[in-house]
Amino acid sequence: MSKVWLIIQREYLSRVRKKSFIIMTLLTPLLLATFMVLPGLLISMSDETETVMVLDKSGLFEGKLQNKKDLNFIPLAGTLDQAKTVYQETDNTALLYIPEMSLSNPEGFVVYGKKNISIQTQVRLENMLEKEIESQRYLASGLDRETLDKIKANVDLTAINLSDQGEKDNNAIITSIAGVVGAVVIYFFIFLYGVQIMRGVIEEKTSRIVEVMISSVKPFQLMMGKIIGIAAVGLTQFLLWIVLSFVAVTGVSAAFGIDAAPSPAAQYAAGQVAAQGEDVEEGGATVDNPAEKDEFASTIRDVKQSLANLNVGLIFVCFLFYFLGGYLLYGSLFGAIGAAVDNETDTQQFMMPITIPLVISFIMSYSVVLKNPDGPVAFWMSIIPLTSPIVMMVRVPFGVPAWELLLSMGLLVAGFIFTTWIASRIYRVGILMYGKKVNYKELSKWLFYRV
């Protein structure tokens, strides 16, 4: 055990002292902070008020187009040619031409611009014109918009989870995001650091360093020390990224006085409201329409309530278990591939059987498991050790029976022991094998060699 520990120390210290490790550990949080703050900076830079000149020949919209926070209207008189001349002499955004028409046949609207009109401006103008025409049609038929707005029904469906601990609010979007984020981190961690194990073994094999090391330790001890050492490097880098990202985002936001980019929910609400021609506050909250404002506040309240109802402790424990379990299972196989070949080019034929279960589990997670987290596909893929690290992580936030969770964890441990046994049999032969093209038949023979 002491020899394994020495190898772990060597792998850990040699890798965390590399310039590439230090640069990537420091650079990644800075890039993340840039990506989070940059949208806020661009939004503040593009926060300009647009001015649209309006030539209304119909007279139906006189005094009806109200100025917004970021959109002003200037009425014009005269002919269209005169309006175009006046518009060309200004820096205004666009010229809106409304021809003579009736409410029964509203056609012929044209918007002129010196440059291409943005899709948001065009949609806002269309929505405002449509809204005003509808209001005038309602009045002509003896109704008014306020009455119709009161008639409209706004149904907000609340999902409740009837668990053994009682009733809890359940938000499928928040639950899905919590599971998918954990699965994505595990997916990339296995690939990123599994490949590092493979490259490390190939490097030591080609440089013949392994011949010196193998005289002092057993191949199995060497392989386990390398796998655990690189896992410790990955965990260290992962935790540093979390801490440094928080510090970098907070520091950059404070230094430049810019808030980070709004959340996806806030951006969605802001975009939806802007497309309807309403005013939008910074951060995405509406100010003009009380109904929209109440709906947005209700959404934020539901999100906070759903986050509070998540079993964060169980999710975190499961994440750590499947994070390490999945890495150790696949890491031993990556190490075996590295021992079986002489260079990275020869690894392609052996990478496919390893990567297929990972890719399939990742694809099935968001295409099938999220739709039915308790279905047969989700159950079996969360039990099989090769796919359980990703699929079970997606299921956990939805609630998984204890026996399924324990069975999945037990099989993952058994799978790790089995793959480590196979990998160690290949590793002990392949690590000292040079210049021989290896195929699957040859690998199967190595499993039964007596060394």
Quick one: pLDDT at residue 4?
A: 81
* Cα dihedral across residues 444, 448, 449, 451: positive or negative: positive
Quick one: pLDDT at residue 164?
A: 63
**H/E segment holding residue 414:** helix 402-430
**What distances in angstroms separate CA 330 from CA 12, 134, 261, 379, 418, one per listed residue?**
19, 62, 36, 21, 11
Q: Which residues pair with 8 in a beta bridge?
A: none
Rounded to whole angstroms, the Cα distance separating 165 from 431 reads 53
Higher pLDDT, 233 or 287: 233
Rounded to whole angstroms, the Cα distance separating 420 from 328 reads 8
Average pLDDT over residues 239-252: 83
Task: Identify the weakest region by mean pLDDT among 74-78, 117-121, 206-210.
Answer: 206-210
Quick one: pLDDT at residue 285?
A: 43
Q: Is the pLDDT of residue 319 over 70?
A: yes
Q: Name, in order, each residue with C-beta under 8 angstroms of 182's C-beta and a sequence gap of 6 or more.
A: 315, 318, 319, 322, 393, 394, 396
Average pLDDT over residues 36-61: 77
**What distances in angstroms separate CA 284 from CA 50, 110, 268, one per listed residue?**
18, 30, 8
Nearest partner of 292 among 306, 305, 281, 308, judged by Cα = 281
33: tokens are 């902070």
Quick one: pLDDT at residue 350?
A: 81
Task: Identify the weakest region by mean pLDDT among 200-204, 370-374, 403-407.
Answer: 200-204
* Longest alpha-carbon distance in the chain: 100
Quick one: pLDDT at residue 446?
A: 76
User: What are the residue ranges of helices labelled H in 207-289?
Assistant: 209-214, 219-256, 264-275
pLDDT range class, residue 411, cuts 50, 70, 90: very high
Higher pLDDT, 307 or 129: 129
Q: What is the DSSP letter of 385?
A: T
pLDDT range class, residue 351, cuts 50, 70, 90: confident
Quick one: pLDDT at residue 33?
A: 77
Quick one: pLDDT at residue 284?
A: 45
Helix (H, G, I), strand (E, B) or coil at 374: coil
Average pLDDT over residues 64-86: 86
35 within 8 A of 253, measured Cβ to Cβ: no
Tell me the average pLDDT of the chain: 79
Taking the model in full, what pTM does it have? 0.65
Backbone torsions φ then ψ of 39, nearest 5 degrees: -60, -40
Quick one: pLDDT at residue 409?
A: 93
Rounded to whole angstroms, the Cα distance separating 271 from 146 reads 24
Q: What is the DSSP letter of 346?
A: G
Burial class (CB in 10 A: 0-12, 13-18, 19+), 149: exposed
Q: Which domains does the chain have, with CATH numbers?
A: 50-147 (3.40.190.10), 175-270+309-448 (no CATH)
- Residue 358: CB atoms within 10 A of its CB come to 20
Q: Which residues pair with 169 in a beta bridge?
A: 160
* Cα dihedral across residues 382, 385, 390, 396: positive or negative: positive
User: What are the residue ranges of helices labelled H in 107-218?
Assistant: 119-140, 145-151, 172-206, 209-214
254: tokens are 């404070």
**H/E segment holding residue 272:** helix 264-275
Q: What is the DSSP letter of 398?
A: G
**H/E segment holding residue 86:** helix 80-88
Task: Give tens-digit pLDDT for 254-270.
Answer: 776 666 555 555 555 55
Higher pLDDT, 164 or 140: 140
Q: Is the pLDDT of residue 17 over 70?
A: yes
Nearest partner of 273 among 91, 260, 262, 51, judged by Cα = 262
Task: Give tens-digit pLDDT for 375-408.
Answer: 888 899 999 999 999 999 888 888 888 899 999 9
Quick one: pLDDT at residue 410?
A: 93
Burial class (CB in 10 A: 0-12, 13-18, 19+), 60: middle
